[in-house]
Amino acid sequence: MNKDQIIKIYRSKIKEFNKHNKLYYDKSNPKISDSDYDDLKKEIYSLENRHDFLKNSKSPSNSVGFKPSKSFEKYKHKVPMLSLSNAFDKDDLINFQKKIFNYLNKNINIEYSVEPKIDGISASLTYKDKKLKYGVSRGDGKTGEIITENLKTIKDIPVEINKSDFPNEIEIRGEVFIKKKDFIKIKDNFANPRNAASGSLRQKNPSETKKIPLNFIAYTYGYYENNSLKYQSQFLSNLKKWGFKTNKDNKILPNIEEILLFHKNFESKRFNLDYDVDGLVYKVNNLYLQNRLGFTSNAPRWAIAHKFSADSADTKIINIDIQVGRTGALTPVAKVSPVNIGGVVVSNVTLHNEDEIERKDIRIGDIVKIERAGDVIPHVIEVDKVKRKKDSKFFVFPTKCPSCGSNTLKEFNNSTKKYDAVRRCTNEGFGCERISIEKLKHFISKEALNIDGLGKKVVEKFWELNFIKKPQDIFHLNYNKIENLEGWGKLSVENLRKSIEKSKNTTLQRLIYSIGIRHIGVENAKLISENVKNISNFIKIIKHKQFDKLLNIDGIGETQVASLKLFFSDSSNVNILLELENILKIESISLVKKGTLKNKTFMFTGKLDGISRAEAKSLIEKNSGVTLSNINKNLNYLVIGEKPTKRKIDQAKILGIKIITQIDLKKLLNQIN
Ligand code: IVH
């Protein structure tokens, strides 16, 4: 390539980059993924590195806007900032409450704190000695960015609180948002008020944040030193007393019926409010119950967001693509004429699965009503059959995998006694191209090996070039070859190498999750790794086909074990694991745990009194104990409730296992609490 051609490529990349930069920073409305954005940035850096004549003062690497938001300092939340599960109708709410009853093992009257769900950006404010110490964004829920100076420009956020009952240390959380009337003045620059608020908070210069009038409404807490409050409503009134803004429409309601009435009224009133709301949040008002209920891996059991109806629009189905996912699932996606729904341009719509297409009789060429709610992928509500052309044809779902041509299958589900709605490619292992690529993307993903220097786009590229076909190939890359590729340079290759090297230090949980076994997600990988303790034990189980041993783990059932058997019945999958074992440095699970029940194992038989198994299990785990689902010589205690199984008691006696009552268990737990 000659100099002119290089300059031409460089300029076009900068033009594209500036466009996305503007969308990201000024409009807070990115049109490409973070990894694609990073790839583009890398390509520019690499061209500059290789060709000195490209370095000039106009280079985006010299401008302030180029600095990614990543340059804000990171902050690990003391208590994670989780999201809320969603409810859309009465059934969802009844189900939510039923789960609470099950967990508490009791049907009781539950009073709810009902709060409008403002559609803004959440932030966490840490106060120490009555002064605002850190203001942090949500980030990925575990780690956020320190944006204290920007948050301090918001007049609703007190920087100092002179009240005697204000805790020594507390994280106060709430929503940052812009009012509709203020948004009108700047609407040409942003897609919606939420984007305006997020863009403003991300400014590197707080005086820029100050230009856009932001508001803050407080609604919950993270860490709270010596919290002795009894109710959420009490916390909300304290917030007000301490000088925070709370929502004037917050309510306490006694049951689901009242809640549904309130939701209906509020939904029609929402357009008269001076801020955007996308639903109501219901929280169990009693904090003691909240504490007992705790959290699942991503949301509290004690709260739910009840969404308002979503925005919708009519559009035309241009084509139906069949995408093949990591687990072989064939997902139909409709390409539609681009249409703007509530500020977002939609051109892809999920059709979920074969059954959904059949049920709604969705065809290419149809005019359909599509809906988009929050960050959920848009979907088809209904087909306008009046507008359908006479010669339109049924959509025939493929029975062979569009990627590798293998047979596809709808599995029979033994618990529901029905066939799955999802059709899957039957190719296990790395025989199917699309499945393999998706598996590789999974392998590098955040909760797996977390190789952030290797984006999804790069994986596709390296696959095409035959650089990576299996996970272990990532660790044998030829960096010289990569450096010679268009868009790569010394610096970007060095970053890639470092990121891959770093990922070699990993944990057993990450490894088990990363190899992409169906039904083995983060939680199950954790359960298995805690049980087998180290990679050699895991490999022993595989070599000796002792998967049934894993049925002992509370939480691992027949489905997971069957999936493990199927996965490792393919020898190429076993080889991948063995090769990875050689390459990686895998941390074993430490045997030394804190907590008085450390490494003690429990099993239940019979109904417990006033507490569910799930809650008892969680109490044991909080104190480093483990619950098993089978009796064996590793069991320390069999806890008997009402109507226990005689066979289990007999077995325990034979094995010399301690048999204890619920009261004994309580005593054991009290010793530590
Ligand atoms: S409570 C774990 N209360 O909704 C508890 N959240 O989907 C989570 N939100 O990230 C927060 N109004 O940005 C809570 N009154 C309210 C809320 C609220 C809006 C947002 C918040 C959160 C998201 C959860």
Q: List, for residues 386-397, the tens digit of each pLDDT value.
A: 999 999 999 999
**Ligand 1: nearest atom to the Cα of 247:** 15
Residue 424's identity, in one-letter code, is R
Distance in angstroms (rounded) separating the CA atoms of residues 54 and 45: 10
CATH class of 76-307: alpha beta
Cβ-proximal residues to 31 (8 Å cutoff; 6+ apart), any chain: 20, 23
In this structure, the residue with its CA closest to atom 23 of ligand 1 is 83
Distance 171 CA to ligand 1 centre (A): 14
Distance 413 CA to ligand 1 centre (A): 36
Per the listing, tokens 């790395």 go with 430
Catalytic residue (choose from 117, 130, 441, 648): 117
**Ligand 1: nearest atom to the Cα of 295:** 2
Q: Tell me, what's the pLDDT at 590?
A: 62
Q: Tell me which CATH code domain 507-587 carries.
A: 1.10.150.20
Nearest-CA neighbor of 120 among 214, 26, 204, 34? 214
**Ligand 1: nearest atom to the Cα of 250:** 15
**Ligand 1: nearest atom to the Cα of 119:** 19
Q: Tell me, what's the pLDDT at 27?
A: 57
Q: Give the count of beta carbons closer than 10 Å to the beta carbon of residue 29.
A: 20
Of 84, 215, 293, the one to substitute when testing ligand 1's pocket (max ligand atoms within 8 A of C-beta) is 84
**Is the pLDDT score of 503 beyond 70?**
yes
**Is the pLDDT score of 191 beyond 70?**
no
Q: Quick one: tokens of 418?
A: 């029905």
Catalytic (active site) residue 117? yes
In this structure, the residue with its CA closest to atom 3 of ligand 1 is 219
Q: Where are the domains of the chain?
A: 3-67, 76-307, 433-503, 507-587, 601-668
**Is the pLDDT score of 402 beyond 60?**
yes
Q: Quick one: tokens of 534?
A: 């180290």
Q: Tell me which CATH code domain 3-67 carries.
A: 1.10.287.610
Distance 517 CA to ligand 1 centre (A): 33
Q: Tell me, what's the pLDDT at 401?
A: 96
Q: Tell me, what's the pLDDT at 669?
A: 82
Distance in angstroms (rounded) separating the CA atoms of residues 520 and 535: 16
433-503: what fold?
Answer: DNA polymerase; domain 1 (1.10.150)
Distance in angstroms (rounded) separating the CA atoms of residues 161 and 177: 22
Distance 121 CA to ligand 1 centre (A): 9
In this structure, the residue with its CA closest to atom 9 of ligand 1 is 117
Per the listing, tokens 């891959």 go with 500
Band of residue 52 on the pLDDT scale cut at 50, 70, 90:
confident
The mean pLDDT of 269-288, rounded to a whole number, is 92
- Give the three-state DSSP class for 607: strand
Of 77, 219, 239, 284, the one to substitute when testing ligand 1's pocket (max ligand atoms within 8 A of C-beta) is 219
Q: Give the count of beta carbons closer than 10 Å to the beta carbon of residue 393.
A: 9
Distance 84 CA to ligand 1 centre (A): 7
In this structure, the residue with its CA closest to atom 1 of ligand 1 is 220
**Is the pLDDT score of 121 beyond 70?**
yes
Of 79, 175, 250, 298, the one to substitute when testing ligand 1's pocket (max ligand atoms within 8 A of C-beta) is 175
Q: Quick one: tokens of 214?
A: 């932001």
**Is the pLDDT score of 133 beyond 60?**
yes
CATH homologous superfamily for the domain 601-668: BRCT domain (3.40.50.10190)
In this structure, the residue with its CA closest to atom 12 of ligand 1 is 117
Distance 172 CA to ligand 1 centre (A): 12
Of 117, 221, 308, 376, the one to substitute when testing ligand 1's pocket (max ligand atoms within 8 A of C-beta) is 117
Per the listing, tokens 């400014």 go with 203
**Ligand 1: nearest atom to the Cα of 120:** 13
Segment 149-168, tens digit of pLDDT:
999 999 999 999 999 999 99
Would the CATH topology of 433-503 be identical to that of 507-587? yes
Distance 270 CA to ligand 1 centre (A): 17
Residue of 666 and 98 predicted with greater confidence:
98
- 8 Å CB contact between 366 and 390: no
Backbone angles phi, psi at 307, to 5 degrees: -75, 155
Backbone angles phi, psi at 490, to 5 degrees: -55, -50
- 8 Å CB contact between 342 and 357: no
Q: Tell me, what's the pLDDT at 442?
A: 97
Ligand 1, pocket residues at CB < 6 Å = 82-84, 115, 117-118, 122, 175, 219-220, 281, 300, 303, 305
- 8 Å CB contact between 61 and 154: no
Residue of 234 and 3 predicted with greater confidence:
234
- Give the three-state DSSP class for 211: helix
Distance in angstroms (rounded) separating the CA atoms of residues 315 and 352: 18
**Is the pLDDT score of 34 beyond 70?**
no
Q: Percent of the chain beyond pLDDT 90? A: 65
Residue 10's identity, in one-letter code, is Y
Q: Quick one: tokens of 310?
A: 């979503």
The per-residue DSSP string of 370-427 comes to EEE-TTSPPEEEEE-GGG--TT-------SB-TTT--BEEEEEETTTTEEEEEEEE--
Distance in angstroms (rounded) separating the CA atoms of residues 428 and 326: 10
**Ligand 1: nearest atom to the Cα of 81:** 2
Per the listing, tokens 């074992």 go with 581
**Is the pLDDT score of 439 beyond 70?**
yes
Q: Percent of the chain beyond pLDDT 70? A: 93
Distance 572 CA to ligand 1 centre (A): 45
